[in-house]
């Protein structure tokens, strides 16, 4: 498969993930990470971390700001504390091991998203969510569902803006940590920048989708696809 075909295929996946995230609040990394790890594992996680910055930056710039700074502080503290573990995994683990991490984290993220657990929006749950994303967000670029579970009963604007600032701060610190460890290279940055137009396409397509598609049905369908992709990644790693 040529590089152009892979780029376009992954760009299409990124566009779908961006559409989903624009409609239901999460999804870009959960949808895209399994396919990137299958087709271009050398681009994980830095390229996806860079690409995933676009939508939350847009939300912070143009969306309604209702950030819960207290919960954000606990969550980002947990993420930064465990980020070195994620960096170590990327630097030291084999490609198959990273694939297993991505597959497992996708399935954990799906489980968190469908969980009926009642988690209160308090500091300790936010800290726990941050600790989980210190590993998952750095090694697999997946950081939204865990804090989203903590914020699930908050106002929609507060959920969106608090997740957005957490995404931006978390992805930035993870990229810096990976860069210090020598795990960020020019090819990954070029790929991440090259996928940004596909994010824009997904965000634009999301506008009519919001008005015509049931949000909850779409969320469930995406979680099924993400779970199947996560299982596929694990099966591929097991057979390698």
Supply the DSSP string of the chain, one letter for each residue.
--HHHHHHHHHHHHHHHHHHHHHHS--HHHHHHHHHHHH-GGGTTHHHHHHTTHHHHHHHHHS-----HHHHHHHHHHHHHHHHHHHHHHHHS-HHHHHHHHHHHHHHHHHHHH------S-HHHHHHHHHHHHHHHHHSS--HHHHHHHTTTS-HHHHHHHHHHHHHHHHHHHHHHHHHTT---HHHHHHHHHTHHHHHHHHHHHHHHHHHS-HHHHHHHHHHHHHHHHHHHHHHHHH-
Predicted local distance difference test score (pLDDT) of residue 186: 95
Which tens digit of pLDDT belongs to each residue from 58-73?
A: 989 988 889 999 999 9
Which tens digit of pLDDT belongs to each residue from 20-60?
A: 888 877 789 988 999 999 999 999 999 999 999 999 999 89
Question: Average pLDDT, stretch 155-172?
Answer: 91
Predicted local distance difference test score (pLDDT) of residue 187: 94
pTM, two decimal places: 0.90
Percent of the chain with pLDDT over 70: 100
Mean pLDDT score of the chain, rounded to an integer?
90
Which tens digit of pLDDT belongs to each residue from 94-153?
A: 888 888 988 898 888 888 878 777 788 899 999 999 999 999 899 988 888 889 888 888
Predicted local distance difference test score (pLDDT) of residue 149: 84
Question: Average pLDDT, stretch 223-239?
Answer: 83
Predicted local distance difference test score (pLDDT) of residue 240: 65
């Amino acid at each position: 498969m040529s590089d152009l075909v892979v780029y376009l295929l992954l760009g299409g996946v990124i566009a779908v993930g961006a559409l989903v995230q624009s409609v239901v609040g999460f999804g870009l990394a959960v949808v895209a990470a399994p396919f990137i790890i299958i087709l271009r594992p050398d681009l994980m996680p830095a390229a996806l971390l860079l690409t995933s910055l676009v939508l939350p930056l847009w939300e912070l710039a143009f969306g309604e700001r209702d950030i819960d700074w207290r919960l954000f502080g606990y969550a980002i503290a947990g993420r930064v504390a465990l980020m070195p573990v994620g960096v170590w995994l990327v630097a030291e683990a084999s490609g198959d091991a990273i694939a297993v991490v991505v597959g497992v984290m996708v399935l954990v993220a799906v489980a968190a998203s469908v969980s009926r657990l009642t988690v209160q929006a308090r500091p300790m749950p936010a800290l726990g969510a941050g600790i989980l994303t210190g590993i998952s967000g750095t090694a697999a670029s997946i950081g939204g569902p865990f804090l989203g579970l903590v914020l699930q009963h908050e106002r929609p604007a507060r959920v969106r803006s608090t997740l957005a600032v957490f995404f931006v701060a978390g992805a930035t610190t993870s990229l810096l940590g990976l860069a210090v460890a020598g795990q960020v290279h020019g090819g990954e940055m070029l790929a991440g920048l090259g996928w940004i137009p596909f994010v824009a396409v997904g965000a634009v397509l999301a506008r009519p989708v919001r008005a015509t598609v049931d949000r909850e049905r779409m969320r469930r369908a995406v979680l099924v696809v993400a779970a199947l992709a996560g299982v596929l990644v694990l099966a591929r790693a097991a057979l390698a």
